[in-house]
Amino acid sequence: MEYCSRKDAVRIVMPEEESFVGFHNHKKMMRVPFAIYADFECFTEKLDTCQPDSSHSYTKAYQLQRPSGFCYHIKYAHGDYKDPVVYCGEDAAKKFVQCIEEEVRAIAKLYKEKKPMEMTDDDKANFEASTHCHICGDALGGDKVRDHDHLTGKYRGAAHNQCNLDFQLPKHVPIFFHNLSGYDAHIFVKELGFSEGKINVIPNTDEKYISFSKQVDNLEMRFVDSCRFFAQLVG
């Protein structure tokens, strides 16, 4: 209330008549080529606790969730990549972070390879007949280049030179958990700090995180709560 009282009242500002709003950030349209889906399993251990001081309020911890194992599956936009990974052991949280960082490093290595363009006769005919950029949709005119996928080498379409330069692979790998903010994050988040890499957090509260990420090589591991993510897509 103290902060809001110093601000002006919110008012609706309507656009001028016959004005238009358009989407121009076309480089954000590229599909993420890799996505990881993960989940943990835990043992529930009972705890014996007592009230420390009857004159003060307190939180009673009566059980402890100890991770027993995990599974993750990497999905690749262009086909099969590898089988799901399953691990069981007392060091599941630590092992999970190590495995995910290795997977992201392997993906980063694929990014750097950049396969040369492979064009079929149909691709060449498509390029010659194209009059509009397949990225932004505007007319090409004399500004016309070939755009291709750097991971597969496949021709994607004709594009403006600048559109082609801006249309880069996403610099992050999303890692989806069913209940990241409410449960799974507490299992392994502390393990992220034991290796190099900058960590960023989007908190919901002091104990719950909407999302958090860590830089590995030139890619970002982005841990996402799938419930929140898909709810935003539907909403």
pLDDT per residue over 123-165, tens digit each? 999 999 999 999 999 999 889 999 999 999 999 999 999 999 9
Q: What angle is formed at CA 154 by the lines to CA 151 and CA 158, rounded to 5 degrees?
A: 115
Q: CA–CA separation, 163 vs 159, rounded Å?
A: 6
Walk me through the domains of the chain, giving residue ranges and CATH numbers.
Answer: 32-45+62-113+170-234 (3.30.420.10), 121-166 (no CATH)
Other Cβ atoms within 10 Å of 105 Cβ, number:
13
Enumerate residues 6+ apart whose C-beta is below 8 A from 213: 172, 199, 200, 220, 221, 222, 223
Residue pair 160/26 in contact by the 8 Å Cβ criterion: no
Q: Which of 39-48, 57-66, 202-211, 224-233 is the least confident region?
A: 224-233
Which has more confidence, 27 or 231? 27
Q: The pTM is what?
A: 0.77
Name the band, by pLDDT with cuts 50, 70 and 90, for residue 34: very high
* 3-state secondary structure (DSSP) of residue 11: coil
DSSP string, 214-228: EEETTEEEEEEEHHH
> How many Cβ atoms sit within 10 Å of the Cβ of residue 92?
20
